[in-house]
């Protein structure tokens, strides 16, 4: 049975017991509102580790003014049932005051021009500083052996992996393939913001990525031609607003003119109230 813990002391006590037994601990950090993508990460952790900890914390530091912090879906009872279905051991659900005690004033960031400044970083200033700060704190609280992230948030995965290397955090950071709905839409907690027509329109992101993959598999190497075709696919949807469509190096996120070697094709599109992201590695 999955146990809910709310304090750093409790979660550290659990991990200390695991270490005394020689167990390997897997960790899945989340903001809750679970879907099949979250469950796939928990399942992978369960397969590879002796104990599994899942955190739920809607992190105020990664939301800018005017974003959806207050509206972000919170559904702990449902999440607990889903975590139990995948045999997670611990659901770590700290309060904001537990994570950021009075006087908190230390943040984690990377250099100007580094990974957080690319792609989504241009449209969500301060977002990745908030992500790095909370994940660094969670890693220090939970002290996992392995942490699991989804490919939909590939930029986040790269940033967290870089942080663990730079700060000598002894955590193996792994990325797991994006889980999709039947029509190809990447599963996201923010999909709840979409009305029926908008939900149908959201399929344009996956359609654009599929078209890009098709072009590359047929020998197209021009990033400009690929992004132009993706833009055409997105623009068929009335009201879809493109933040970016990018063809970049899969390690540095630097833009590419020519597709050769492992390449990330990524996009962010606003549909209604939802800002949706997706990507493909080619």
Q: Are 130 and 121 in contact (CB under 8 A)?
A: no
As annotated, the active-site residues are 38
User: Residue 258: what are its φ and ψ, rounded to 5°?
Assistant: -125, 135
Q: Which helix (H) or strand (E) holds 129?
A: helix 127-142
Residue 5's DSSP bridge partners are 92
Match 């469509």 to its residue by tokens: 245
Q: Are 267 and 234 in contact (CB under 8 A)?
A: yes
- State the DSSP code for 105: -
Sheet holding 51-56: strands in order across?
A: 3-5, 90-92, 51-56, 25-30, 146-150, 172-176
Coil vs helix vs strand at 242: strand
Handedness of CA 78, 202, 64, 173 (dihedral sign): positive
User: Residue 72: what are its φ and ψ, rounded to 5°?
Assistant: -55, 130
d(CA 164, CA 91): 23
Match 């027509």 to its residue by tokens: 197
């Amino acid at each position: 049975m999955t146990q809910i813990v709310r304090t750093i002391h409790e979660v550290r006590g659990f991990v200390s017991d695991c270490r005394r037994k020689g167990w390997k601990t897997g960790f899945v950090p989340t903001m809750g509102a679970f879907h099949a993508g979250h469950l796939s990460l928990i399942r992978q952790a369960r397969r590879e580790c002796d104990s599994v900890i899942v955190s739920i914390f809607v992190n105020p530091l990664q939301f800018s003014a005017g974003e959806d912090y207050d509206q972000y879906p919170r559904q702990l009872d449902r999440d607990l049932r889903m975590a139990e279905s995948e045999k997670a051991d611990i659901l770590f659900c700290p309060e904001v005051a537990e994570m950021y005690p009075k006087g908190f004033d230390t943040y984690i960031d990377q250099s100007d021009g580094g990974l957080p400044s690319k792609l989504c970083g241009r449209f969500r200033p301060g977002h990745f500083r908030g992500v790095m700060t909370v994940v660094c704190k969670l890693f220090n609280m939970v002290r996992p052996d392995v942490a699991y992230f989804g490919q939909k948030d590939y930029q986040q995965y790269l940033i967290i992996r870089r942080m663990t290397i730079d700060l000598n955090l002894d955590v193996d950071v792994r990325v797991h393939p994006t889980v999709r709905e039947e029509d190809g839409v990447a599963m996201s907690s923010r999909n709840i913001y979409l009305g029926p027509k908008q939900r149908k329109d959201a399929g344009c992101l996956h359609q654009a990525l599929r078209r890009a993959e098709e072009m590359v598999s047929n020998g197209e190497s021009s990033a400009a031609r690929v992004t132009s075709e993706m833009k055409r696919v997105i623009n068929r949807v009335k009201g879809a607003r493109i933040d970016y469509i990018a063809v970049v190096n899969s390690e540095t996120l630097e833009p590419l003119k020519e597709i050769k070697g492992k390449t990330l094709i990524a996009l962010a599109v606003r549909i209604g109230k939802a800002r949706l992201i997706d990507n493909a590695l080619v």
